[in-house]
Chains A and B, each alone.
Chain A
Amino acid sequence: MAVNKDNNGYTVIFAAVMVVVVGSILAYLASSLSDKIKENERFEKQQNILYAMGVNENSDSGSVDFIPANEVEGVFSEYITEQLVISGDQITQNDEAYLIDLKKQIAAIKKGETAELPVFIGEKEGKKYYILPMYGKGLWDAIWGFMALDDELTIQGVYFDHKGETPGLGANIKQRYFMDDFIGESVLSSDRIVGVSVAKGNNDPANKIKDDNEVDALAGATITGNGVSAMISESINLYRDYLESIRAK
């Protein structure tokens, strides 16, 4: 039997069947894989936090190497001694603070509500690290990261990631040569908390000057670099009171 493919009825039925078939395949796939994907995302967050405080498997090769995903849970509970949630003036302990989505908290602040801001306190070789999450905008989409500070508010390490920056340009914010430049920079400038900005033409490509609150920018990625600067200053601003209290100790 020949079917008239130009018939409107056939077209509508075909479209409906196609939508149902494709929809059910994708829905089935998404629901059956969602547990596994959530677990991967949880491990990734732990890896990123540990990476920022210098607990990673970096070697001289210049690549970014995390603690392997199958060990990260143990290593995380070993190094991260406290997880705090700052909500207004109250600071509470919460062992699942790392699962808080900073994006939602920043949205809450914009609506005038009290946000729950997570801070992670890590300890490595007797030294204390204060790790703050960060969230901002790059050129195409979201960028985020973690920054580890010591009690003098000097950066001990950072980790950046992005959703859709241009490969080879803005996407290089997650390359080690860029992230390593932040180590040793202070977020203080003449005793005020200002953060660190990504600067073009600061005449310091090797990043030897550590007290200028600037790191060398990435060529061809001006907007992403500006996004990183803005993300750092905005995120640090959220934690201003807490950071002052660390310094006062």
Chain B
Amino acid sequence: MALLTKKDTSLILDPLADNNPITIQVLGICSALAITAELKASVVMAISVLFVLGVGNVVISLMRNIIPSKIRIIVQLIVVATLVIIVDQVLKAFAYELSKTLSVFVGLIITNCIIMGRFEAFALGNGPWRSFLDGIGNALGYGVILIIVGFFRELFGSGTLFGYKVLGDPVTKTGLYATGYENNGFMIIPPAALIVVGIIIWVQRSKNKALIEEN
């Protein structure tokens, strides 16, 4: 038997495009607006969510038969919060520098609705291996959008990528700035992320008409 059946592969690949958590399900928008002013922050957030959603989905899936349905949301919240705190504490003790970079994201991970959404919609009804794949797939789908948005916002807002000045120096007017080009300050404030996400949604739906909802 192959490691990944066709169904399993679609668990990973679907959220990347036609069932993307941000552009189709419109979940996790809050963090997509908050931390995409910079490409590096987008990548860090994508990796953190990948880890938490992958492990969290497995834990919830293993517990799915014993969780009382009345308090399942609270149980889910406790699982995410515990995971995030464990990671935070271990990093603080053994990789202090890294933990300082991540500390800002901790609150954003716990409140990320994609995580709660996948626990509720998938892990509560499926086995651990499939839940793990679903978690990885959705986190990747989330991460891809985050990185695309971060790329455009950092490039047009600050003229840098990963902090490197790819368009020249705006202060000393070198590179593209010598021609009169200016950074667009609007791109680094949160509403710009909404517009970039909107453009992605537009492009995606114009390519795949099946995604357009009928009203």
- The answer to whether the Cβ of B199 comes within 8 Å of any Cβ in the partner chain is no
The number of chain B residues touching the other chain, given as a range, is 35 or more
B75, B154, B171: the one within 8 Å of A206 (CB): B171
A residues less than 8 Å from B92 (CB atoms): 33, 37, 40
Is A14's CB under 8 angstroms from B89's CB? no
B36, B71, B94, B158: the one within 8 Å of A14 (CB): B71
A residues less than 8 Å from B44 (CB atoms): 167
Task: Report the interface size for chain A: residues with CB under 8 A from the other chain.
Answer: 33
Known: A163-B103, A167-B38. A5 touches B69 (CB 8 A): yes
Q: How far apart are B192's CB and chain A's nearest CB, in angstroms?
A: 10
Q: How far apart are A40's CB and chain B's nearest CB, in angstroms?
A: 4
Is A6's CB under 8 angstroms from B69's CB? yes
Given the complex of chains A and B, what is the CA–CA distance between A43 and B69 in angstroms? Answer: 47
Interface centre among B37, B41, B75, B170 (most CB of A within 10 A): B37
B residues less than 8 Å from A107 (CB atoms): none
B35, B70, B93, B170: the one within 8 Å of A167 (CB): B35
- The answer to whether the Cβ of B185 comes within 8 Å of any Cβ in the partner chain is yes
Given the complex of chains A and B, what is the CA–CA distance between A175 and B27 in angstroms? Answer: 31
Given the complex of chains A and B, what is the CA–CA distance between A7 and B70 in angstroms? Answer: 9
- The answer to whether the Cβ of B86 comes within 8 Å of any Cβ in the partner chain is yes
Chain B, residues 41-70, CB within 8 Å of chain A (1/0): the string is 100100000000000000000000011111
* Interchain Cβ contacts under 8 Å between A and B, 14 examples: A6-B70, A14-B67, A14-B68, A14-B71, A25-B86, A26-B82, A33-B93, A36-B93, A40-B92, A62-B163, A164-B107, A168-B153, A169-B37, A205-B171
Chain B residues engaging chain A, CB cutoff 8 angstroms: 34-38, 40-41, 44, 66-71, 74-75, 78, 82, 85-86, 89-90, 92-94, 96, 103-105, 107, 153-154, 157-158, 163, 170-172, 183, 185, 188-189
Taking CB as reference atom, which chain A residue is nearest B186? A220
Is B104's CB under 8 angstroms from A26's CB? no
Is A37's CB under 8 angstroms from B75's CB? no
A5, A69, A165: the one within 8 Å of B68 (CB): A5
Taking CB as reference atom, which chain B residue is nearest A32? B93
Is A11's CB under 8 angstroms from B189's CB? no
Is B188's CB under 8 angstroms from A22's CB? no
Interface centre among B35, B105, B185 (most CB of A within 10 A): B35
Is A37's CB under 8 angstroms from B89's CB? yes
Chain A, residues 186-219, CB within 8 Å of chain B (1/0): the string is 0000000000000000000110000000000001
Given the complex of chains A and B, what is the CA–CA distance between A205 and B40 in angstroms? Answer: 24
Q: How far apart are B86's CB and chain A's nearest CB, in angstroms?
A: 6
Given the complex of chains A and B, what is the CA–CA distance between A219 and B37 in angstroms? Answer: 11
B residues less than 8 Å from A14 (CB atoms): 66-68, 71, 75
Given the complex of chains A and B, what is the CA–CA distance between A203 and B39 in angstroms? Answer: 28
Chain A, residues 38-52, CB within 8 Å of chain B (1/0): the string is 001001100000000
Q: How far apart are B201's CB and chain A's nearest CB, in angstroms?
A: 22
A37, A43, A166, A205: the one within 8 Å of B93 (CB): A37
B residues less than 8 Å from A168 (CB atoms): 35-38, 41, 153-154, 188
Given the complex of chains A and B, what is the CA–CA distance between A65 and B69 in angstroms? Answer: 51
Is A219's CB under 8 angstroms from B185's CB? yes
Q: How far apart are B69's CB and chain A's nearest CB, in angstroms?
A: 6
Is A40's CB under 8 angstroms from B96's CB? yes
Q: How far apart are A18's CB and chain B's nearest CB, in angstroms?
A: 7
Known: A29-B86, A33-B90. A166 touches B67 (CB 8 A): no
Taking CB as reference atom, which chain B residue is nearest A169? B37
B residues less than 8 Å from A163 (CB atoms): 103
